[in-house]
């Protein structure tokens, strides 16, 4: 399909795309710097410095270029290269603070022979060009040759060639109807954190993540991080990726410096681990947080909240955690305080005590803005301690959010703020012992815009809506439109303020969120870019870090206050945020398109280093998807919620949440939705410990929990939704009509594939399966895929296809409605035998075996070449302890090896840690081996553990051998042999 046809099928976007495509077609393609010197290698790995001098200035309207630049090339590991470009004039440029991204530096003793990449900056006298290639094949990883490079104070432009047959993923945060595959049709993604609904496609949203994953046609994978927190645009064309603008002008990043990291993989999960080694591995969430969560904006009082808990219990549905939105706060929305009528602190303490006694939990919201009200403890103590962001003159910066006039804590390297926050969170915890905190509106959001704002005392109407208190019955329908419109008098920035009006304007979406509305100022509905932090930083540079620095401060304070592993959920994020917080995809819509887009949302968030990710199940905002489209009917909402309950049960973070004016959609409101939720969450809860093990691996080594199917076999174009630029260019036009099968699926960890229904009225689904053996998680039935293929499956309402991947060992436990009663329950190991014998080592162009990168599993494959090999992890700790060590946790790797004809085999374990309560209590009671050959006529299956015979039964319908009676301590070596 040609580009013109793609545009024609997307009303409202044709002009926007035509402009970008025209700019790309006629853009000049020349370097603007010349290499003048390249120093000799400073170490055995080949670290060196090049000096480059400006040769021309193709865009003088954006300021004066730096005359000379210093290019630092530093091989840091065999698979990680760091390239940093900055002015060579002794000046200091803004950089992302190291408390957010630590910069691990070069590995000691690294030699050039070990490197998996080659790098060049050009010889003296030649045009400067940065080229990074894969050493083994010469495949380009990053190549600026033939493209111009511009470096000015507020303008950086950088372009790399991208092969037309490669596929790109990552970059954001943005909701794309195309799914996880990035479009290559001239689309522009803008990175500038905004309080815009994720229900809106293409808009720049809450987070800024300048990282992308590139998968070549043969499956080799690399990643690139542009570590820069300034606003930027990224233009995606058929054969290039450019940091530039959405209009017909060229343009890019509006400050900072060029700080690039390259990760050579070669597998996708290895790339992600290498990336996380730079930004920090994600935090391990508390075990309880893997249960089901329920909240809404607008549970009007404590009695309503209690009734929600009781209704879930009465319906027999699991409920781990109930949440409170801003309605728990006093009438002026004082965060960290409780309304004396709706949510009195004494009553809430009794409620939370009852929840805790039943193994349940309570989480409260914390908005970024603090009410600037006299008599409010947090405001008065914060003002005394000088913890607020200020305007450029040093006066406390004031905006408007739900409380009305609002100030903003300065979390960016301000020790006074950390002490203030710990004190206020302790005060809150002493009133009501919260279990986690929900950090919202932290882009940071304001309903006003300007250099600073003050109450407009001359405007009686504005003062009324700015100061009016919340009605006691929490009927805020009249308040919402006025409180969310600016009621303050704000100082407009002068035209010559280059922080508010930089020479180059990124394509920041306006409040409408529509594609033609991309001219919003940087300070629109957020803190002024001119505002100052205590360390001297300007919000112009640090804006995209607000949510992450807020999470960092809260993590440290909550750990100190509670003595337990913190659970935080944040909306705004930047690379490194996952070290402290989970993330949800924000204000999505109650429609099928948003259900589908949520899959890419959670997968991307995992790649960005926040595996504890989810979307609001059943949708937050009761809106149609297309502009002007009506909301779903009641019957359509019921069907959507039925499907979303099944799908959402397998989000890493699983929460039903909706807005004040949205129709209620707790699962118990419909019998069929409740039945679907019971079934799907029943399986999730039986797999909680398997899922927890995936989180442990991510926290210990980096990596994902929810990941694209392509991670199992990146050489399979069907799994990549790929085909390169041609497929991606037309993906937008085909987004609704013919989605790629694999874009509507995801893997949970190494061994679990989720394939939901994502369209109304469907009773079948056609998931894609990469080559190998796959087994239904519901009945163990086997599906074989000699090569990757899409397979039609029945999926009537209430059903969701879930499959175990051959080659994985998964721990399962019995169901209980709260996680407390599952964590140490007896374990059944499900051994899913692979389709083909192990080759002993990973083979290029072949599917990657589960846990292929783990030491124990790689050793098992090497030892058992020619056998059917499966591998998996059982991990458990105290569930909420801050420090995890071998003395308080159990880490056991199980490996299974079977004869090629699957008639006999063994299951053994390697114990890496065996300490604490789990070592004393957790036991393996059974093993189910899937894919076993039927016994010969008259033969009976047998199984022995340590010489002791145990019961073994062959399930002919499933082709599974069920072994029971093991009663083996999880922390002790296991040696099981079986035969049919």
Cβ atoms < 10 Å from Cβ of 498 = 16
CA–CA separation, 601 and 584 (whole Å): 9
CA–CA separation, 424 and 554 (whole Å): 11
**CA within 13 Å, CB half, 176:** 31
List, in order, residues 6 or more apart from 868 with CB less than 8 Å away: 833, 834, 836, 837, 838, 896, 897, 898, 899, 900, 902, 905, 931
Would you call 587 a catalytic residue per the annotation?
A: yes
List, in order, residues 6 or more apart from 66 with CB less than 8 Å away: 54, 87, 88, 89, 151, 152, 153
CB 915 within 8 A of CB 767: no
CB 857 within 8 A of CB 956: no
Tokens of 388: 């607020």
CA–CA separation, 847 and 714 (whole Å): 8
User: 851-855: long-range contacts (C-beta < 8 A, 24 or more apart)?
Assistant: 851/750, 851/808, 852/267, 853/267, 853/269, 853/270, 853/273, 854/697, 854/893
Residue 445 phi, psi (nearest 5): -90, 145
Angle between helix 592-607 and helix 634-648 axes, rounded to 10 deg: 20
Catalytic residue among 443, 716, 750, 799: 443
Residue 23 phi, psi (nearest 5): -65, -40
Residue 673: alpha-carbon gap to chain centroid: 27
Catalytic residue among 440, 593, 716, 799: 440
Q: Across the chain, which distance is largest between two alpha carbons, in Å?
A: 95
CB 626 within 8 A of CB 206: no
CA–CA separation, 352 and 363 (whole Å): 10
Cβ atoms < 10 Å from Cβ of 423 = 16
Strand order in the sheet with 117-120: 117-120, 131-134, 140-143
Query: CA dist 768 to 164, 301, 490, 771, Å?
Result: 24, 46, 54, 10
Print burial letters for 121-139: b (CB count within 10 Å at least 16), e (below 16).
bbeeeebbbbbbbbbeeeb
Would you call 891 a catalytic residue per the annotation?
A: no
List, in order, residues 6 or more apart from 753 with CB less than 8 Å away: 709, 745, 746, 747, 767, 769, 774, 802, 803, 804, 805
Whose CA is closest to 99, among 568, 389, 418? 418
Strands annotated E in 620-762: 654-656, 706-707, 746-748, 752-754
List, in order, residues 6 or more apart from 940 with CB less than 8 Å away: none
Q: What single string gives the DSSP state of each residue in 499-513?
A: TTS-SS------TT-
Would you call 306 a catalytic residue per the annotation?
A: no
CA–CA separation, 318 and 475 (whole Å): 30
List, in order, residues 6 or more apart from 689 with CB less than 8 Å away: 811, 812, 813, 822, 823, 827, 874, 875, 876
Catalytic residue among 139, 259, 327, 587: 587
Q: What is the DSSP pairing of strand 802-805 with strand 793-794?
A: unpaired
Which phi-psi region, left, alpha or beta, contains residue 637 (left: φ > 0; alpha: ψ -120 to 50)? alpha
Residue 808 per-residue DSSP state: B
CA–CA separation, 240 and 725 (whole Å): 10
Query: CA dist 105 to 83, 96, 134, Å?
Result: 12, 15, 21
CA–CA separation, 369 and 354 (whole Å): 31
Whose CA is closest to 743, among 763, 759, 725? 759
Would you name the residues annotated as active-site residues?
440, 443, 587
């Amino acid at each position: 399909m040609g580009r013109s046809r793609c545009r024609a099928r997307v009303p409202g976007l044709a002009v926007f795309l035509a402009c970008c495509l025209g700019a790309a077609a006629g853009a000049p393609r020349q370097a603007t710097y010349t290499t003048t010197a390249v120093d000799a290698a400073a170490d055995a790995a080949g670290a060196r410095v090049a000096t480059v001098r400006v040769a021309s200035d193709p865009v003088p309207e954006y300021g004066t270029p730096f005359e000379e630049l210093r290019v630092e090339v530093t091989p840091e590991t065999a698979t990680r290269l760091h390239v940093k470009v900055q002015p060579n004039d002794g000046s200091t440029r803004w950089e992302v603070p190291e408390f957010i991204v630590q910069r691990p530096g070069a590995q000691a003793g690294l030699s050039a022979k070990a490197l998996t990449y080659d790098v060049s900056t050009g010889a003296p006298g030649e045009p400067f060009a940065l080229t990074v290639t894969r050493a083994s094949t010469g495949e380009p990883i990053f190549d600026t040759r033939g493209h111009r490079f511009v470096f000015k104070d507020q303008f950086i432009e950088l372009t790399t060639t991208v092969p037309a047959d490669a596929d790109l993923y990552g970059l954001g945060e943005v909701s794309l109807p195309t799914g996880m595959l990035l479009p290559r049709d001239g689309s522009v993604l803008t990175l500038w954190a905004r309080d815009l609904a994720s229900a809106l496609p293409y808009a720049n949203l809450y987070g800024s993540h300048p990282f992308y994953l590139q998968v070549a046609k043969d499956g080799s994978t690399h990643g690139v991080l542009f570590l820069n927190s300034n606003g930027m645009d990224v233009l995606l064309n058929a054969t290039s990726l450019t940091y530039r603008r959405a209009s017909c002008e060229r343009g890019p990043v509006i400050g900072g410096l060029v700080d690039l990291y390259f990760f050579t993989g070669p597998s996708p999960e290895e790339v992600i681990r290498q990336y996380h080694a730079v930004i920090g591995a994600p935090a391990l969430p508390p075990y309880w947080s893997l249960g089901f969560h329920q909240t809404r904006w607008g549970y009007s009082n404590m009695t309503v909240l209690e009734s929600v808990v009781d209704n879930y219990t009465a319906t027999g549905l699991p409920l781990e955690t109930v949440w409170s939105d801003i309605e728990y706060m006093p009438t002026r929305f004082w965060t960290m305080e409780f309304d004396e009528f709706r949510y009195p602190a004494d009553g809430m303490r009794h409620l939370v005590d009852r929840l805790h006694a039943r193994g349940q939990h309570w989480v409260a919201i914390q908005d970024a803005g603090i009410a600037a009200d006299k008599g409010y403890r947090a405001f008065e103590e914060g003002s005394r301690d000088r913890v607020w962001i200020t305007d450029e003159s040093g006066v406390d910066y004031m905006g408007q959010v739900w409380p009305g006039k609002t100030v903003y804590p300065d979390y960016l390297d301000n020790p006074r703020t950390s002490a203030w926050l710990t004190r206020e969170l302790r005060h809150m915890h002493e009133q009501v012992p919260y279990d986690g905190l929900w950090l919202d509106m932290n882009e940071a959001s304001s309903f006003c815009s300007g250099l600073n704002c003050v109450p407009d005392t001359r405007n009686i109407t504005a003062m009324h809506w700015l100061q009016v208190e919340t009605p006691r019955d929490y009927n805020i329908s009249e308040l919402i439109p006025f409180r969310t419109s600016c009621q303050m008098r704000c100082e407009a920035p002068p035209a010559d303020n280059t922080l508010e009006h930089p020479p180059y304007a990124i394509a920041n979406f306006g409040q409408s969120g529509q594609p033609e509305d991309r001219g919003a100022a940087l300070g629109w509905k957020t803190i002024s870019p001119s505002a100052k932090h205590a360390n001297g930083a300007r919000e112009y540079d640090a804006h995209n870090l607000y949510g992450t620095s807020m999470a960092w401060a809260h993590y440290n304070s909550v750990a100190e206050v509670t003595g337990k592993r913190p659970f935080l959920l944040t909306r705004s994020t930047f690379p490194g945020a996952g070290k402290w917080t989970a993330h949800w995809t924000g204000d999505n819509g109650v429609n099928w398109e948003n259900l589908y887009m949520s899959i890419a949302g959670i997968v991307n968030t995992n790649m960005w280093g926040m595996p504890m990710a989810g979307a609001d199940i059943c949708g937050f905002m009761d809106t149609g998807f297309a502009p002007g489209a009506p909301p779903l009917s009641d019957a359509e909402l019921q069907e959507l919620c039925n499907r979303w309950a099944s799908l959402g049960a397998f989000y890493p973070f699983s929460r039903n949440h909706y807005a004040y004016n949205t129709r209620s959609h707790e699962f118990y409101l419909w019998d069929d939705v409740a039945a679907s939720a019971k079934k799907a969450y029943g399986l999730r809860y039986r797999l909680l410990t398997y899922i927890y093990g995936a989180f442990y691996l991510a926290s210990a080594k980096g990596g994902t929990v929810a990941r694209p199917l392509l991670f199992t076999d990146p050489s399979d174009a069907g799994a990549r939704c790929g085909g390169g630029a041609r497929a991606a260019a037309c993906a937008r036009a085909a987004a609704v009509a013919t989605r790629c099968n694999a874009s509507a699926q995801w893997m949970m960890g190494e061994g679990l594939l989720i394939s939901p229904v994502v369209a109304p009225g469907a009773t079948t689904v056609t998931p894609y399966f990469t080559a190998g053996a796959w087994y239904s998680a519901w009945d163990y039935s086997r599906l074989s895929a000699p090569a990757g293929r899409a397979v039609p499956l029945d999926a009537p309402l209430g059903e969701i296809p879930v499959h175990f991947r051959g080659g994985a060992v998964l721990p399962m436990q019995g169901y209980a409605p709260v996680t407390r009663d599952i964590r140490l329950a007896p374990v059944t190991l499900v051994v899913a035998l692979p389709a083909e014998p192990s080759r002993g080592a990973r083979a290029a162009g072949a599917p990657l075996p589960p846990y292929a990168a783990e030491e124990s599993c790689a050793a098992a494959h090497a030892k058992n070449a020619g056998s059917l090999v499966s591998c998996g992890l059982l991990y458990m700790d105290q569930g909420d302890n801050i420090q995890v060590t071998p003395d308080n946790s159990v880490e056991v790797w199980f490996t299974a090896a079977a004869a090629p004809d699957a008639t006999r085999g063994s299951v053994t374990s390697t114990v890496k840690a065996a300490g604490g309560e789990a070592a004393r209590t957790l036991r393996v009671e059974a093993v189910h081996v899937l894919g076993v050959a039927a016994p010969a006529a008259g033969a009976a299956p047998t199984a022995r553990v340590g010489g002791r015979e145990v019961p073994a039964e062959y399930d002919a319908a499933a082709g599974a051998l069920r072994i029971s009676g093991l009663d083996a301590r999880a922390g002790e070596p296991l040696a099981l042999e079986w035969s049919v």
